[in-house]
C-alpha cells in the first residue's frame, strides 16, 4: 500500500517537474505565412497554433487581406501582405461556377511571381522586426516565406491544403488536375492521362512562371534551397512542377 502511494506521489512530482521545465522554456516567435490565405488554407494550422499560443508562444499571421475569422483566435496577431486580390470574387478571369483547375492556379502563380519581390521584403521585415524563430509556411505559391526562412537559417514547417502535394497516390487524383479524385472506376486511358499526361501538361503550363520566378530570385541573389538537408528535414518534390521544392520538418 505504502509503495503504491509512494509511486503515485512520485509520478505526480515528475509530472509537476516536467510542467515547470516546459514553462521555463523561453517562448518562441512563430510566423505563419500564407500568400493566398483564406479560411480553407488557414484554419487547420490556426487551430494548431492556438495550442502554441496557449503555451505562451507568440504567433504572427502574415497573409493577404484581413483575416476575418481572427476573432476565433484572440491571441493571434495579423500583419497583412496587402489587399486580398486572390479570391475568385475579385478575379474576373475566374468563373466561380466552374471547378477550379490548374489553369486558375496558373493565374495565382503569375500574381505570386509578379509580387515576389514585395512579398519577400515583407516576410523579411517581419522576420527581423519580430525576431522570428520558426516559420510555418503554406506551400502554395508561397516561395517567399520558404526562401526568407531558408536565407535566415530558420526552421520551416510546410503545410498544404492539397493532399496530393504530400502523398501522391496512383489511384487517387486531385480535382485540380482535371481528373476525378478516385480513379478506381476510370478506364485505363483515363488513369494514364491522369497519372502521366496531366502532370506534364501542368509542368508545361507553369513553366514560364517558374522560370520567371527563378530569374527574379537570381537578380535578388536569393540562395537556392539546400540540396542536402539535416536528417529531420524532409524535402518533398512538388508534383506540379519539379523545380519547386518545399521542406517539411517532422
Ligand X SMILES: *[C@@H]1O[C@H](CO)[C@@H](O)[C@H](O)[C@H]1NC(C)=O
Report if residue 184 touches ligand X, rule: CB under 6 A: yes
Q: Cβ closer to ligand X: 87 or 180?
A: 180
The Cβ of residue 61 has, within 10 Å, a number of other Cβ atoms equal to 23
Give the alpha-carbon dihedral of 247, 21, 132, 167, to 10 degrees: 20
239: exposed, middle or buried (Cβ count in 10 Å: 0-12, 13-18, 19+): middle
The C-alpha angle 14, 17, 19, rounded to 5 degrees, equals: 110
Does position 125 interact with ligand X (CB under 6 A)? The reply is: no
- 182 near ligand X, judged by CB under 6 A: yes
185 sits near ligand X (criterion: CB under 6 A): yes
- Can you tell me the distance from the alpha carbon of 78 to that of 1, in angstroms, rounded to the nearest whole number? 55
Could you tell me how many residues of this chain bind ligand X (CB under 6 A)?
A: 9
Tell me whether residue 185 or residue 227 sits nearer to ligand X (CB atom).
Answer: 185
Residue 102: CB minimum distance to ligand X, A: 13
Q: Does 201 bind ligand X (CB under 6 A)?
A: no
Query: Looking at beta carbons only, is 58 or 113 nearer to ligand X?
Result: 113
In this structure, what is the dihedral angle of CA atoms 115, 118, 122, 127, given to the nearest 10 degrees?
Answer: 90
Nearer to ligand X, 67 or 120 (CB): 120
136/194 with CB nearer ligand X: 194
The four Cα atoms 176, 169, 200, 35 give a dihedral, to 10 degrees, of: 50
Of 152, 146, 172, which Cα lies nearest the Cα of 235? 146
From 30-38, 65-73, 180-188, 240-248, span contacting ligand X (CB under 6 A): 180-188
**99 binds ligand X, rule: CB under 6 A:** no
Binding segment for ligand X (CB under 6 A), chosen from 27-35, 105-113, 141-149, 175-183, is 175-183
Q: What b/e sequence results for 113-149 when a residue is b if at least 16 CB atoms lie within 10 Å of its CB, and e otherwise?
A: bebbeebbebbbebbeebebbbbbbbbbbbbbbbbbb
> Using the rule CB under 6 A, is 180 a contact of ligand X?
yes
Tell the smallest beta-carbon distance from residue 57 to ligand X (Å): 31
The window from 76-84, 147-155, 177-185, 237-245 that contacts ligand X (CB under 6 A) reads 177-185
- Binding status of residue 243 toward ligand X by CB under 6 A: no
Of the candidates 148, 179, 244, 247, which one interacts with ligand X according to CB under 6 A?
179
Residues in contact with ligand X, shown as a per-residue x/- string from 206 to 225 under the rule CB under 6 A: ----------x--xx-----
Cβ neighbours of residue 234 closer than 8 Å, sequence gap 6 or more:
247, 248, 249, 250
Per CB under 6 A, residues contacting ligand X are 117, 179-180, 182, 184-185, 216, 219-220
Amino acid at each position: 500500500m505504502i509503495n503504491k502511494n509512494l509511486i503515485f506521489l512520485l509520478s505526480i512530482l515528475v509530472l509537476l517537474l516536467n510542467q515547470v521545465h516546459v514553462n521555463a522554456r523561453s517562448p518562441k516567435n512563430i510566423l505563419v505565412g500564407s500568400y493566398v490565405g483564406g479560411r480553407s488554407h488557414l484554419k487547420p494550422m490556426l487551430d494548431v497554433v492556438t495550442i502554441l499560443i496557449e503555451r505562451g508562444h507568440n504567433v504572427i499571421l502574415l497573409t493577404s487581406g484581413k483575416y476575418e475569422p481572427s476573432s476565433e483566435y484572440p491571441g493571434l496577431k495579423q500583419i497583412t501582405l496587402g489587399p486580398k486580390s486572390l479570391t475568385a470574387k475579385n478575379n474576373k478571369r475566374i468563373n466561380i461556377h466552374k471547378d477550379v483547375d490548374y489553369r486558375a492556379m496558373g493565374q495565382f502563380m503569375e500574381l505570386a511571381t509578379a509580387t515576389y519581390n514585395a512579398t519577400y521584403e515583407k516576410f523579411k521585415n517581419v522576420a527581423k522586426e519580430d525576431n522570428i524563430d520558426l516559420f510555418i509556411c503554406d506551400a502554395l505559391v508561397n516561395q517567399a516565406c520558404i526562401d526568407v526562412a531558408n536565407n535566415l537559417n530558420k526552421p520551416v514547417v510546410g503545410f498544404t491544403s492539397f493532399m496530393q502535394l504530400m502523398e501522391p497516390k496512383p489511384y487517387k487524383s486531385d480535382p485540380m488536375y482535371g481528373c476525378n479524385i478516385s480513379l478506381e472506376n476510370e478506364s485505363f486511358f483515363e488513369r494514364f492521362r491522369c497519372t502521366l499526361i496531366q502532370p506534364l501538361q501542368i509542368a508545361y503550363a507553369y513553366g514560364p512562371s517558374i522560370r520567371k520566378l527563378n530569374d527574379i530570385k537570381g537578380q535578388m541573389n536569393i540562395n537556392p534551397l539546400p540540396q542536402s538537408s539535416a536528417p529531420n528535414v524532409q524535402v518533398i518534390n512538388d508534383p506540379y512542377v519539379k523545380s519547386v521544392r518545399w521542406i517539411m520538418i517532422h
